[in-house]
């Protein structure tokens, strides 16, 4: 792994960029790797910042992943290609999963 130092701004802020030479896999990724990092000045951070970010995340989920099938497809989870795509079929499968999950699992393993 090599590092490249860049200088930016009047104060010479140093940014370290790591070039990953090896392929990233679950074996070489720390279990505490952040999902995302938020950059901003301390003057823009307040006690309600995490709540606001959470609300934005939930709104995005509702917009772009309104049901479990859309979520699985967006993330390409194992078996997503076997899930229904039509809203009515998704609702029917969701209802079946709530009332008789074991029956659904036996009928359609995906």
3-class SS of residue 52: helix
DSSP H stretches of helix in the chain:
49-64, 68-75, 87-99, 101-107
What's the pLDDT at 64? 86
Hey, what's the torsion of the CAs at 109, 78, 84, 98, to 10 degrees? 60
What's the pLDDT at 42? 80
pLDDT in tens, 78-110: 889 989 989 999 999 999 989 998 888 888 766
Between 25 and 92, where is the model more confident? Answer: 92
pLDDT in tens, 9-19: 544 444 444 44
């Amino acid at each position: 792994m090599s590092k490249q130092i860049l200088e930016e701004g009047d104060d010479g802020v140093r940014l370290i960029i790591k070039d990953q030479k090896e392929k990233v896999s679950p074996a070489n990724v720390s279990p505490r790797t952040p999902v995302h990092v938020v950059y901003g000045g301390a003057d823009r951070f307040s006690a309600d910042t995490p709540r606001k970010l959470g609300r934005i995340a939930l709104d995005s989920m509702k917009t772009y992943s309104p049901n479990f099938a859309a979520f699985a497809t967006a993330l390409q989870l194992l078996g997503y290609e076997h899930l229904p795509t039509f809203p009515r079929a998704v609702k029917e499968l969701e209802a079946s999963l709530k009332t008789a999950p074991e029956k659904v699992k036996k009928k359609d393993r995906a």
